[in-house]
Amino acid sequence: MPQAKHQHASAILREYQRAEAELIGKAVVLSDGKAGTVEAVFLDEMHGLRLSIAGHPGKWPVSTIKLLQA
């Protein structure tokens, strides 16, 4: 893998791991009113980060977080 692609992939993985550490287990309210605890964070090639929320089947874009537990 060329050095530039390797650096880009490493940066993406670092940010993904940071997002996991910051979000998993936190209470959130989404813009559509769904609320719960973040169970998992997924990296979606088309949409970026997506979340699964306890008690609500599906995955939502991280951009839909309206309120995050402090």
The model's pTM is 0.82
Looking at domain 3-68, which of 2.40.10, 3.90.550, 2.30.30, 3.30.720 is its CATH number?
A: 2.30.30
Answer yes or no: are the C-beta atoms of 27 and 51 closer than 8 Å: no
Per-residue pLDDT, 27: 96
Q: Name the residue ranges covered by the structural domains of the chain.
A: 3-68
CA pair distance 9, 12, nearest whole angstrom:
5
Strand, helix or coil for residue 33? coil
Residues 15-70: tens digit of each pLDDT: 999 999 999 999 999 999 999 999 999 988 887 899 999 999 999 999 999 998 87
